[in-house]
Amino acid sequence: MTQQDSEQYRARKQFYEQMLTVYGRKPVLEALQDENLPAYRLHLADSNRKDGIIRDIQALADKRNIETQFHSREALARISRNGKQDQGVALDLQLPGYRDIKTLSEPLPGDCRLLALDRITNPQNLGMIVRSIAASGITGLLLPKTGCASLGPLVIKASAGTLFKAPIYHCQELPDTLSTLKARGCRVATLSSHASHSLLEWQPEGPTVYVLGNETEGVSRKVSQLSDVSLAIPMHNGVESLNVAVTAALIAFKH
Amino acid sequence: MTQQDSEQYRARKQFYEQMLTVYGRKPVLEALQDENLPAYRLHLADSNRKDGIIRDIQALADKRNIETQFHSREALARISRNGKQDQGVALDLQLPGYRDIKTLSEPLPGDCRLLALDRITNPQNLGMIVRSIAASGITGLLLPKTGCASLGPLVIKASAGTLFKAPIYHCQELPDTLSTLKARGCRVATLSSHASHSLLEWQPEGPTVYVLGNETEGVSRKVSQLSDVSLAIPMHNGVESLNVAVTAALIAFKH
Q: What residue ranges do the domains of chain B occupy? A: 19-94, 98-252
pLDDT of residue B255: 66
Interface test with A, best of B215, B237, B250, B254 (most A CBs within 10 A): B237
- Is the CB of B134 less than 8 angstroms away from the CB of A200? no
Bond preceding residue B167 cis, omega within 30 of 0: no
Q: Place A192 in a pLDDT band, splitting at 50, 70 and 90.
A: very high
pLDDT at A18 over 90: no
- Is the CB of A134 less than 8 angstroms away from the CB of B242? no
- For chain A, the residues whose C-beta falls within 8 A of a C-beta of chain B are 97, 124, 128, 131-132, 134-137, 160, 162, 165-167, 200, 233-239, 241-243, 245-246, 249-250, 253
- Distance, in angstroms, between B51 CA and closest chain A CA? 36
Q: What are phi and psi of B22, to 5 degrees?
A: -105, 160
CB-count burial class (<10 Å; 0-12, 13-18, 19+) for A238: exposed
- Is the CB of B243 less than 8 angstroms away from the CB of A238? no
Q: Using the CB atoms, write b or e for A167-185: b if 16+ within 10 Å.
A: bbbbbeebbebbeebeeee
- Is the CB of A128 less than 8 angstroms away from the CB of B166? no
> Above pLDDT 70, what percent of chain B?
99
For residue B16, the tally of other CB atoms under 10 A from its CB is 10
Beta bridge partners of B209: B114, B188
- Distance, in angstroms, between B121 CA and closest chain A CA? 17
Instruction: Please state the rounded mean pLDDT for residues B91-112.
Output: 92
CA-nearest residue of chain B to A199?
Answer: B253
pLDDT of residue B2: 72
Chain B CB contacts of A134 below 8 Å: 236-237, 239
- Distance, in angstroms, between B97 CA and closest chain A CA? 10
Cβ B182 vs Cβ B221: under 8 Å = no
Interface confidence (ipTM) of the complex: 0.85
How far apart are alpha carbons B28 and B42 in whole angstroms? Answer: 9
pLDDT at A27 over 90: no
pLDDT of residue A1: 60
Report the 3 state secondary structure along chain A. Answer: CCHHHHHHHHHHHHHHHCEEEEECHHHHHHHHHCCCCCEEEEEEECCCCCCHHHHHHHHHHHHCCCEEEEECHHHHHHHHCCCCCCCCEEEEEECCCEEEHHHCCCCCCCCCEEEEECCCCCHHHHHHHHHHHHHHCCCEEEEECCCCCCCCHHHHHHCCCCCCCCCEEEECCHHHHHHHHHHCCCEEEEECCCCCEECCCCCCCCCEEEEECECCCECCHHHHCCCCEEEECCCCCCCCCCCHHHHHHHHHCCC
**Nearest-by-Cβ selection for A236 from B137, B160, B234:** B137
The DSSP-derived string for B139-188 is SEEEEETTTSPPS-HHHHHHTTT-TTTS-EEEES-HHHHHHHHHHTT-EE
Alpha carbon B76 to its chain's center: 23
**CATH class, range A98-252:** alpha beta
How far apart are alpha carbons A137 and A185 in whole angstroms? Answer: 21
Q: Is B83 left (phi over 0), alpha (psi -120 to 50) or beta?
A: alpha
What does the pLDDT look like over B171-212, one tens digit per residue? 999 999 999 999 999 999 999 988 989 999 999 999 999 999
Q: What are phi and psi of B225, to 5 degrees?
A: -65, -20
pLDDT at A216 over 70: yes
- Is the CB of B135 less than 8 angstroms away from the CB of A249? no
pLDDT of residue A98: 92
CA-nearest residue of chain B to A130?
Answer: B242
What does the pLDDT look like over B217-252, one tens digit per residue? 899 999 999 999 999 999 999 999 999 999 999 999
Report the 3 state secondary structure along B18-71. Answer: CEEEEECHHHHHHHHHCCCCCEEEEEEECCCCCCHHHHHHHHHHHHCCCEEEEE
What does the pLDDT look like over B117-148, one tens digit per residue? 999 999 999 999 999 999 999 999 999 999 99
Q: Place B153 in a pLDDT band, splitting at 50, 70 and 90.
A: confident
Where is pLDDT greater, at A232 or A7? Answer: A232
How far apart are alpha carbons B180 and B178 in whole angstroms? Answer: 5
Instruction: Please state the rounded mean pLDDT for residues B87-93.
Output: 95
CA-nearest residue of chain A to B164?
Answer: A237
pLDDT of residue B6: 82
Instruction: Please state the rounded mean pLDDT for residues A41-47.
Output: 96
- Is the CB of B253 less than 8 angstroms away from the CB of A131? no
Report the 3 state secondary structure along B186-198. Answer: CEEEEECCCCCEE
Where is pLDDT greater, at A154 or B71? Answer: B71
- Is the CB of B135 less than 8 angstroms away from the CB of A245? no
How far apart are alpha carbons A218 and A253 in whole angstroms? Answer: 21
CB-count burial class (<10 Å; 0-12, 13-18, 19+) for B221: exposed
- Is the CB of B131 less than 8 angstroms away from the CB of A238? no
Q: Using the CB atoms, write b or e for A10-26: b if 16+ within 10 Å.
A: eeeeeeeebebbbbbbe
The verdict on domain B19-94 having CATH code 1.50.10.10 is no
How far apart are alpha carbons B231 and B94 in whole angstroms? Answer: 35
- Is the CB of B132 less than 8 angstroms away from the CB of A245? no
pLDDT at A179 over 90: yes
How far apart are alpha carbons A30 and B41 in whole angstroms? Answer: 46
CA-nearest residue of chain B to A240?
Answer: B135
Q: What are phi and psi of B136, to 5 degrees?
A: -75, -30
For residue A146, the tally of other CB atoms under 10 A from its CB is 11
Q: Which of A13-17, A52-56, B69-73 has the lowest mean pLDDT?
A: A13-17
- Is the CB of A250 less than 8 angstroms away from the CB of B249? yes
pLDDT at A66 over 90: yes
**Nearest-by-Cβ selection for B243 from A128, A166, A250:** A128
pLDDT at B1 over 80: no
Where is pLDDT greater, at A36 or A176? Answer: A176
pLDDT at B7 over 90: no
pLDDT at A17 over 90: no
> In what side-by-side order are the strands of the sheet with B67-71?
B19-23, B89-94, B39-45, B67-71
What does the pLDDT look like over B24-61, one tens digit per residue? 998 899 889 888 788 999 999 999 988 889 999 999 99
Contact residues for A114 (Cβ-Cβ < 8 A; gap 6+): A138, A139, A140, A141, A142, A169, A181, A186, A208, A209, A210
- Is the CB of A245 less than 8 angstroms away from the CB of B243? yes
Q: How many CB contacts within 8 angstroms connect chain A with chain B?
A: 89
